[in-house]
Amino acid sequence: MTTALSLFLSGLLLAPAVNGQAYDAGNRGEDAFEYVQPLNTTILGPYGHSEAVYPSPNTTGNGWEEALEKAKAFVAQLTIEEKADMVTGQPGPCVGNIVAIPRLGFNGLCLQDGPLSIRVADYASVFSAGVSAAATWDRDILYERGYLMGKEFKGKGAHVALSPVAGPLGRSAYSGRNWEGFSPDPYLTGVSMELTITGHQDAGVQATAKHWILNEQEIQRNPVFDPNGTATDITSQAISANVDDRTVHELYMWPFANAVKAKAASFMCSYQRINGSYGCQNSKSLNGLLKTELGFEGYVMSDWGATHTGVAAIEAGLDMDMPGGLGAYGQAWTAGSFFGGNVTIAVNNGTLDVTRVDDMILRIMTPYYWLGQDKDFPSVDPSGGDLNTFSPKSTWVREFNLTGERSRDVRENHGETIRKHGAAASVLLKNENKALPLKAPKSIAVFGNDASEDTQGFLNQKDFEYGTLVAGGGSGTGRLTYLVTPLEAIKARASKDGALVQQWLNNTLIATSNMTDLWNPTPPEVCLVFLKTWAEEAADRQHLDVDWNGNDVVESVAKYCNNTIVVTHSSGINTLPWADHPNVTAILAAHYPGQESGNSLVDVLYGDVNPSARLPYTIALNGTDYNAPPTTAINTTGEYDWQSWFEEKLEIDYRYFDAHNISVRYEFGFGLSYTTFELADFAAEAVASDITSAPEQRPVQPGGNPALWETIFNATATISNTGDVAGAAVPQLYVSFPADTTPAGTPPRQLRGFEKVPLAVGESKTVGFELMRRDLSYWDVVSQQWVIPAGDFTLSLGWSSRDLKAFTKITPVQAEMSYPEDYTLLEKSSGASASTPDSSDSTSGGCSIRRVGSHLKTLYLFTKSDVKTVLIPQIIFIVSAVLGRESLTTVDLSTPAEALQRLPLAILWIWLNLIVCGISNQRLPQSVLEDEHNKPWRPIAAKRLTPEQANKLLFTIVPLVMGTSLLLGGFTPTVTMMALLWLYNDLDGSSINIWTRNIINTGGIMCFSAGSLEVISGGMLLPKAWIWIGLTGAAIATTVQALDFPDMEGDKARGRQTIPLIYGEAVSRGGLAVAVVVWSAVCSAFWNLQLMSWAVPLGVGSLMAALTVLRRDEKCDKIVAKLWCLWMSVLYVLPLFVA
């Protein structure tokens, strides 16, 4: 019989087996890539270093062939001393300088910071920061910003812009330089890098992709030098970023591949160590990953002071030492360089092959010629030398010809564009009661020290209490020629309406004052609160709150002003604990917007610009919700002890929150508009045939294997503006990889497409998304190549990472059918077998037992989530009902023993009916998509069987369940439940409205109560039993929203309609609080309990009500959900309290 049952279930439950590689298995050192550095093996283990990658590849000028020939002719004329000069920086007028060689007509190279402005310059624009640019989600703006910045760099005589930034990517929410880059999402950052670089270089300036690679924190990014020693006397080495191979490729290398594809002229290697070896002398990362795998043809410069050896760094792939002199290490600038004269010595004594030096110069000069910088390029603006505090004129050891125009104005009309960019980067996070746009208010109050001018200087500074922030600190900042503050712009705009504008800029005063003392003469119509958050190079953030008591400022103002609008100027993430305050009606995250800050903001506040920005990161509920904090302290003092293990692997930002189903305040990609949008007709089709798992091996081009960059699928959708004002939608495409063929640790969803779609009122447009091979591939650490896994991908289209509206599936590579290990050859074949069903050897019997166990587990998994919410409460209900003093059925059990004897039969009845419910619910396509996200262990989501097999199982098991009900009792409730399931699932009754769905669900619970009570008692139900079942059913129907609160974000992401999402938290929480107290009293009264007995249900109900209303956070909501289950169980046992 065992074998027969096994064979029967096998026909229904065959499913592909998981065969992905165990990405999470093993110790953390085994899959780490590390190259060169033999030190620190006691910490990194036997895999702490890998084979070195030598020699450094020679440039082939791929795509730059004509320029390469010019570079070769140039190099052929150089002396060895001139060659050394070409690869070694010198103190001078720019932040980085390669000296001129007049006899060859070469005027040298000027390298200038930074990613939002020419930092060392006057009469230059300060553009919006990288995080602001990413928040626009606008490809046109990303290119335009890069192009205009490039024009200004060129106008000032800078050959090289030290921009843009993809490192830090944003592993940690606390990193001090996240604002210089774009987003913790590699796809969004990759697009931003490619368009910015293209813009820079279209303007004639070399772009520098930085900081390659894994430069994810500021603390201990550099070694600590012995104050009495030399540049090689180190007491504590820089922190080592220890990362596995797959994570490097899929997360941190990804945007840099876009940079290489865009033909970036240069890369800047980073300060910290990479798995033990310094970033600027790590041959695997430079020679292997960058120059070989990605096909990078340009040059690698060091970050300023990141070179720690000479020949070793050169052989590892470093091409240019910056800033050159040892002044960057605290030594005298005249002390020389790791490169410089040491290059000459090494070549002359045979330690260094001159062909390697030649390649370094070819890599430097080829983009120089490619961009035409040898012809009519502007001279260096002499004012830069006056303003350069890093290497002032007193440190210069070489001559520079600074005869060009001084303090030349390169801004043109860029201010207008910066204003547009700032408005497009301001994310509207909250807008209750259409508080925005402002409707010509006559009385405005402005609060906060971020609203006004800086008190001194041309730069934002960390410790300046007063002054609006438009950039962070360090080498990535900008020198303001002018600044439009929020207060200035608001006053100018308000004057057109004849409005009164009051201002309070002292945060301490605001946070400690009674606001009614400040109104003049009456409360304002709107209160605008301006908050700021500083971040800078060389320091990581200590918290994610706003600075200068900003949270207290908001609470103080909102206490008295019922229309409080908050604006943040921040480096990125702020947790905003006051976001749900009822008097905070709107929130704008304006980031670091650049010099036109106030005008950009006013355009959005007054509705001249409809906000279209979206978050390029996730805002969590609490700072402690983020994983991967910077390593801030160690307990030992060993020279190599600073280690940062990237154990989160691919799970950063929304990938982490989604993988662990953690509620957030505002999800990645979120942002509101003054209008509404809809999407429809979402579909995808292949544009390539015979797609293989691994790409065709082709000669490497910039960016890697060109096959990775080929479009293989197109997705399309129709986007419509359904509101009453024009606006721009931002549809976002996310990809979910097939779970059974992709290695563990793959994020649930990954951004793989977005577009900014301007739409007039009522207008619709068809939008396309191209999916390249790389978009659908993971990095296989065994074969060392990108692989498309077999099976179904889910494409999700929506308005954010958790507001997904449309879904479709694609199958680039068909999955081959595979089987769990416990299926025999007989079951795999279509008739022929190596053994027969009656084989009775021990092996066959063991396999049969294992198969039965596997099938029973599958059936259990259909009901696993119902054990706590249905099975256990129903057991409590029926036992209490039959053991109570009042009879509820026609058979009065005389002893508890009789009830306990029939209890297993009742449990069997409940479980069999739960199996039918589980299969019926979970076989639907939308349910499968939800389960893949929320309950991946369920049988269909886990690929234990297919939806088609689930249908077969359902049709097979329904007669079995109905027959069991005829035999044991509860037949009518079973039939009623089947009808409700048919109405709910097959007739789509669940989508009519929320109350219809709740009524059907409640009817199902009542069927469980009635049927199981019949089975345990062996009799029919009396009228009082039906009334009792009805009361408990009504209690469930009106309080079940308690189970919805913990997963509101997940429900929102999947488009579920729940009471909290439809009616809002205030109504649903208040309704729950009232209902639990009322039903506690009603049910107690129904059983005529003594007042003392009312205390238990009322006590549990009151505690749940209080937590629901007073504590609105994920932790408490989970407690409320558990209390609800306890409360229902308390109601169920009330018959036992009857006197």
Residues annotated as part of the active site? 303
The DSSP call for residue 715 is: E
Cα(372)–Cα(349) distance, integer angstroms: 36
Give the amino acid at 393: K
Q: Which residues contact 268 (CB under 8 A, 6 or more apart)?
A: 162, 208, 209, 210, 211, 212, 300, 301, 302, 303
| The two three-digit tokens of residue 767, written as one number | 């939008």
CA-based end-to-end distance of the chain: 51
Question: Angle at the Cα of 293 (from 287 to 297), degrees rounded to 5?
Answer: 65
Residues facing 584 on adjacent strands: 564
- The answer to whether the beta carbons of residues 1032 and 877 sit under 8 Å apart is yes
Do residues 873 and 1128 touch, judged by C-beta distance below 8 A?
Answer: yes
DSSP classification of residue 22: -
Task: Please choose, from the candidates 598, 591, 455, 451, the residue with its C-alpha nearest in 3D space to the C-alpha of residue 528.
Answer: 451
What backbone torsions phi and psi does residue 436 show, to the nearest 5 degrees? -115, 150
Q: What is the DSSP string of 818-867?
A: ---TT--HHHHSSS--SS-TT--SHHHHHHHHHHHHHHHHHHHHHHGGGI
Q: Distance between CA atoms of 177 and 503, rounded to whole angstroms?
A: 32
The type of residue at 24 is D
Helix/strand/coil for 1000: helix
Please give the radius of gyration of the chain, using alpha carbons only, rounded to the nearest integer: 34
Inter-residue contact 532 to 449 (CB < 8 Å): yes
DSSP character string of 501-529: EEEE--HHHHHHS-GGGT-SSS--SEEEE
> Distance between CA 209 and CA 449 in Å, rounded?
35
Q: Please list the residues that pair with 500 across neighbouring strands.
A: 443
Tokens of 892: 């009065």
- Provide the b/e sequence for 274-309 (b: ≥16 CB within 10 Å): bbbbbbbbbbbbbbbbbbbbbbbbbbbbbbbbbbbb
Does residue 730 contact residue 755 with C-beta atoms inside 8 Å? yes
DSSP-assigned states of every residue in 575-628: --TTTT-TTEEEEEE--S--TTHHHHHHHHHTTSS------SS-EESSGGG---
Residues 6+ apart with CB under 8 A from 889: 882, 1013, 1014, 1017, 1018, 1019, 1020, 1021, 1022, 1025
Bond into 114 cis (ω within 30)? yes
Strand-pair partners of 274: 241, 277
